[in-house]
Structure 1
Amino acid sequence: MKNKAFAGLAALGCLLFASGAWADQPLEWQKGLQPAATSIMEEIRWFEQYTLWFIVPITLFVLLLLIIVVVKFREGANPVPSKTSHNTAIEVVWTVGPVVILLFLAIPSFQLLTKQLAPTEEPELTVKATGYQWYWGYEYQVGESPLAFDSLLLQDGDRAAAGKDDKAVYPRLLAVDNEVVVPVGKHVRLLVTAADVIHAFAMPSFGVKIDAIPGRLNETWFKADREGLFYGQCSELCGKDHAYMPIAIRVVSQEKFDSWLSAAATDLGAANKALIASVDGATKSVDVAENAAQ
């Protein structure tokens, strides 16, 4: 019995460990946010947990008040209703209480917004993302001849040629033919616009979500703390194929990024394959973060 129990615990541990290896991927019945890959997303996750300490007690308190009112002041228990029209103490409490609660929510919220909208570092790389119906176009503003390419949903028939057969790393409806490649630990400025209708660029693990509006250039930023392959999607309803314009960002070391950028200037496909080979050769498990943003 002890051996069976130990084997069962070991099997459970293996399952938990296996799921942890792909913890960045969306899981069935997942309720929380994706694991953070930037400091901004770390703060967003903290703020989400912080607000629950206010939301849950308030919800339970209101539920309790409703139950008291339904039971104590129903017609059978209270045939002659009170004629009270004013209570100074109650007026003060329900005015001051919400103001204090809102202050506790507003202060960290504004601090987080300031960090998102007003970075203190100078950008080390600028990438322009343009939303189309229904794919993304990217332009690296480096050197005298910027690198530009389109990124479309990866079709199943193209997986083998692209070296992306592993659906655990390159999931259906989220993998793309050409990922955005950025170096780890570098401040990346992202310029976002659209060519036709309103789209939205969303990368949950980075804490990035910004509208792509025709004729307007919106700006945001991110600084990835770890290497890996991260997924997002257009999060603005933009037409019939809205669900089929994913976003994929591959974060690599500075050395791998420099090699990829140099090779991509002349042959993007070959540069991508060389990068995939170098990443997959270094480790069998790729750190993946995905989203099905709504």
Structure 2
Amino acid sequence: MATWNMLLLQDSASPLMEQLTFFHNHALMILVMITMLVGYMMSTLFFNKFNNRFLLEGQKIEIIWTTLPAVTLIFIALPSLRLLYLLDEINNPLVSVKAIGHQWYWSYEYGDFMNFEFDSYMTPTTSLSMDGFRLLDVNNRMIIPYNSQIRLMVTAADVIHSWTIPALSVKIDATPGRLNQVSFLMNRTGLFFGQCSEICGANHSFMPIAVESIPPSIFTKWMSKMNSA
């Protein structure tokens, strides 16, 4: 069961990830139907002993096997275009966070709240607590409120990195000298992990991303504590 779960998508934590999961299931169902139909027709051709040596053309069947794939592509393209539009839409953010990729850690800046910042390093295995996550947990997590529109601005200080959280459907490159932005909303609290998805050097696999979603009231208290520190 654990091996099977590794083949599935992560549980969604944002409305956009839910839509991506629905589209994945929609496209997969169409692929399964096509595979079963083609497999059935191939098997019947292999074991069919009848043939027609006078058959030279078949306009009806050619029309059918040209029209059906076109209709199938329309059923895949329309939801895909809708989803691409939703992923690129930028709403009015309530919180803006800037993530800066370094070799090999992340820095976060909260410019809306007296502009404080902190670095986020991977927790070494020797310092990991019993309830920690090996190679995924960090010393300072990115804290954001749930049910709030978040604007994430991403850049890099040295080489190209990629800020990725699969449960949020967020994957955006961190490019030196360029500021990219993405918008997302988390619909539940929890702890979500990701990793740099761009090969950025020897310790590429040791700069994880940890995002903690908390209620807005607790986020306000955390922000006040960080500003007073």
TM-score normalised by length of structure 1: 0.70
Whether 1:102 and 2:73 are equivalent positions in the alignment is: yes
Whether 1:248 and 2:210 are equivalent positions in the alignment is: yes
The aligned residue for residue 115 of structure 2 is 146
**C-alpha separation between the residues in 2 aligned to 1:85 and 1:238?**
58
Q: How does 1:1-294 map to 2 (within 5 A)?
A: 27-30=2-5, 31-72=7-48, 86-119=57-90, 121-143=91-113, 145-159=114-128, 165-167=129-131, 170-267=132-229
AA aligned opposite 1:116: L
Change (3 A) 1:229 1:90: same
Deviation track 1:28-64 (CA, whole Å, cap 9, x = no partner) reads 4312211111111111111111112201011122223
**C-alpha separation between the residues in 2 aligned to 1:245 and 1:83?**
67
- Give, in angstroms, the shift of residue 70 of structure 1: 4.0
- Give, in angstroms, the shift of residue 206 of structure 1: 1.2
Q: Percent sequence identity over matched residues?
A: 38
Over aligned residues, Cα RMSD in angstroms? Answer: 2.4
- How many aligned residue pairs are there? 228
- Give, in angstroms, the shift of residue 266 of structure 1: 4.7
Deviation track 1:49-98 (CA, whole Å, cap 9, x = no partner) reads 111220101112222333344444xxxx69x9968665322332222111
- Give, in angstroms, the shift of residue 195 of structure 1: 2.4
SS at match of 2:4: coil
**C-alpha separation between the residues in 1 aligned to 2:27 and 2:67?**
19
**C-alpha separation between the residues in 1 aligned to 2:216 and 2:204?**
33
AA aligned opposite 1:156: T
SS at match of 1:29: helix
The aligned residue for residue 12 of structure 1 is none
Change (3 A) 1:86 1:241: farther
Q: Are 2:146 and 2:216, in contact at CA under 8 Å, matched by a contact in 1?
A: yes
**C-alpha separation between the residues in 1 aligned to 2:30 and 2:166?**
24
AA aligned opposite 1:95: T
Q: Are 2:165 and 2:171, in contact at CA under 8 Å, matched by a contact in 1?
A: yes
AA aligned opposite 1:260: W
Q: Are 2:13 and 2:187, in contact at CA under 8 Å, matched by a contact in 1?
A: yes
Deviation track 1:215-256 (CA, whole Å, cap 9, x = no partner) reads 222211111111111111112222222221111111111121
TM-score normalised by length of structure 2: 0.89
Greater fraction strand: 2
**C-alpha separation between the residues in 2 aligned to 1:139 and 1:85?**
71
- Give, in angstroms, the shift of residue 106 of structure 1: 1.2
Q: Which runs of 5+ in 1 are unaligned?
A: 1-18, 20-26, 160-164, 268-294
The aligned residue for residue 14 of structure 1 is none
Runs (4 or more) in structure 1 with deviation over 6 Å come to: none
